[in-house]
Each structure stands twice: as structure tokens, then as C-alpha cells.
Structure 1
Amino acid sequence: MAAENQHQVPPPPGLIASLAGLAKNCLHLLLSRLELAAIELTEVRDTLLQLSIVFAIAMLAAWFAIAFGTATLIYLCWEAMGWKILALLAGLFAVLAVALVLWGRSLVRQGKLGLSSTMAELKSDRDMLL
């Protein structure tokens, strides 16, 4: 009879133990999602830092190129066109500025700065739970 008692399966855990196990699993899931979000935020931060440094240097170089190029163009065309060269360059730079702003907006709309992996995992978790 003692051998029979040793081979019996222990009784299933009660309601409180099951709820504690569920809470423990939910906590582990939440912690893993927070870790994923932290890793992605670190990557986004590093990318934004690199992007801002490259952008600042590019802007400085572009301003010098624009300034020297414009001064040279005005000097060369002043006798033939007079003040019209200034209006032409102002229009050209305005069109260029609008095009660059639209391009920047399209980059932001592509969602490269979002937390795509984290949001996908959270959505799949929500779908599984509901």
C-alpha cells in the first residue's frame, strides 16, 4: 500500500495557486516586453544621435556651398540680368526648401523611428489574451 501512495499523481493546484501562476506568467511577459522596448529605445536614441550629428555637419557644409555658389552666380550674372538673378535664386531656394520639408515628412511617416517590434509583440499578446 505504501508503494501505491508513492506512484500517485499529486492533486492539481487549487484556484489560488493557479491565479498566482497566471499572475507570475503575466509579470514575466510584461517584463520581457519592457526589456524589448528598452532595447529598441536605446537603438532609436543612438540612431537619432547619429542622425543629428550627420545632419548638423551636412547643414553647415550645405550653407557654405549655397553661400559661395550663390555669390559666384550673382557676380557672374549681374551685368546680364541685374536684380532678376536675385529673384530667380530666391524662387529656386524656396522650391528647394519646400521639397526638402516634404521629403522629411515622408521619412517620418515611414515609421522608422517607431517601436515596430514592441508594438507588434504587444498586439499579438493582446490578441492572445482576448
Structure 2
Amino acid sequence: MQESTPSPRFFDSLRSLLGNVAAMARTRLELASVELAEEKARLMQQAFLGLLGLAFLSLGMIALTALIVILCWDTYRWQVLAGLVALYFGIAAYCLVRVRRQLQDAPAMFEATLAELDKDREALKS
């Protein structure tokens, strides 16, 4: 009885296929790491600028509130304060709604990587 042994060409083909799959996986991981680094840099920049803007906005609003109350101290002090409080809450609500909408509409992380992996999966199926 003769045993069937795989030909050397089979092992070469298998080795080549595994090498191609490994190279493809490496490329996809590199793409994912680049996207992650870009997302991290973008988020850090937005957080820094947002906090800096909020700090200066707070200082400006405190100074403006004090100025308006001092100007209206004798006649309409509580009405002016109530109006400013309503204005500040309105602006805060508007900003929070905008942030929420932007977070909901943001593209998915690793969108390009997932698209490439889907293409790879489809290519391997056919």
C-alpha cells in the first residue's frame, strides 16, 4: 500500500498563502493603529481647546454679570439677575444639545479598517 504524501508544491503554496495572510493582517493592524493615533490626537486637541474656551468664557460671563448688576443695582437688580440666569441656562442647554448631536453623528471609529477587513473577507470567500 502506498501512502500519499503531500507534494512539496503544496507546502510551498500553503506557506505562500500564510505569508500573504500574515502580511495582509499586518497592513490592517497598521491602518488601525494610524486611525487610533489620529483619533487620539483629535480628541486631545478638542478637549484642550474646549476647556480653555470654557475657562475664558466663564471669566467673561462673571465679569459681564457683575457689570450689568452694578449698572442696574438701584432699580432692577433682581430682575436683571433672573434674566441673566435664564440666558445662561438657555445657552448651556443649546450647547449640550449640540454636543449630544455631534456625538451621535460622529463616524464610527476604525471605519476604514473595518471596510478593508470586509473587503478581505469577501475576497477570501470567492
TM-score by length of 1: 0.77
Alpha-carbon contact 1:44-1:113 (below 8 Å) kept: no
| Correspondence for 2:9 | 13
1:12 Cα deviation after fit? 8.7
Q: What is the aligned counterpart of 1:31 among 23, 26, 49? A: 26
Structure with larger Rg: 1
Q: What is the aligned counterpart of 1:106 among 96, 101, 106? A: 101
| Correspondence for 1:63 | 58
Structure 1 residues 79-113: Cα deviation after superposition (integer angstroms, max 9, x where no partner): 33231222221111111111111111222223257
AA at the equivalent of 1:99: Y
> 5+ unaligned residues in a row in structure 1: which ranges?
1-10
Q: What is the aligned counterpart of 1:89 among 84, 89, 93? A: 84
Q: What is the aligned counterpart of 1:78 among 73, 78, 99? A: 73
Gap change, CA 1:26 and 1:74, over 3 Å in 2: same
Q: What is the aligned counterpart of 2:124 among 93, 112, 129? A: 129
Partner-residue secondary structure (3-state), 2:73: helix
CA distance in 2, matches of 1:125, 1:77: 69
| Correspondence for 2:3 | none
Gap change, CA 1:61 and 1:80, over 3 Å in 2: same
1:31 Cα deviation after fit? 0.6
TM-score by length of 2: 0.79
What is the identity percentage for the equivalent residue pairs of Structure 1 and Structure 2? 29
Structure 1 residues 10-55: Cα deviation after superposition (integer angstroms, max 9, x where no partner): x9922x4433332222211111000011111111122222222212
